[in-house]
């Protein structure tokens, strides 16, 4: 599988402060299949499981990047709805989120996001809708 680099209009190394705190990294900038990873360690809830809020932040990040890639350099995107289902606990390693578009419109885009653990087991699924705004 080929990995897509960020487009030239994205400043090198651009991340959000929250992504930095959680260790979220976009690893594939393909608008049709955007991928991000996040370590479980440091993002657990008190029982040692990956925190649901951290999972949602991962989903928001990868889905928002997917929407931004589709919107292009002269527009910005904001999340307007997020639904998440937690299917299996992640307790160690890294989780990977893959965002695929359901609809890419001029003003609204919706992405399905599947989160998996290091063994490929699905830990969560989500749907993110983003609004595209003029810059």
- Look up 114 and say whether it is catalytic: no
**Ramachandran region, residue 110 (left: φ > 0; alpha: ψ -120 to 50; beta: rest):** beta
CA nearest neighbour of 99 among 15, 43, 37: 37
Which one is catalytic: 41, 44, 60, 81?
60
Strands 108-116 and 122-134: antiparallel
Q: How far apart are CA 30 and CA 70, in angstroms?
A: 9
DSSP 42: T
Three-state secondary-structure class, residue 22: helix
Question: Which residues share a beta bridge with 50?
Answer: 44
Q: Catalytic amino acids?
A: 60
């Amino acid at each position: 599988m080929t990995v897509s680099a960020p487009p030239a209009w994205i400043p090198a190394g651009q991340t959000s402060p929250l992504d930095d705190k959680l260790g979220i990294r976009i690893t594939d900038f393909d608008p049709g299949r955007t991928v991000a990873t996040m370590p479980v360690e440091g993002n657990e809830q008190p029982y040692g499981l990956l925190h649901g809020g951290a999972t949602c932040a991962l989903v928001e990040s990868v889905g928002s990047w997917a929407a931004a890639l589709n919107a292009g350099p002269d527009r910005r995107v904001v999340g307007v709805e997020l639904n998440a289902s937690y299917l299996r606990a992640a307790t160690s390693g890294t989780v990977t989120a893959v965002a695929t578009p359901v609809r890419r419109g001029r003003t609204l885009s919706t992405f399905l996001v599947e989160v998996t653990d290091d063994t490929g087991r699905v830990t969560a699924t989500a749907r993110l809708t983003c609004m595209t705004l003029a810059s």
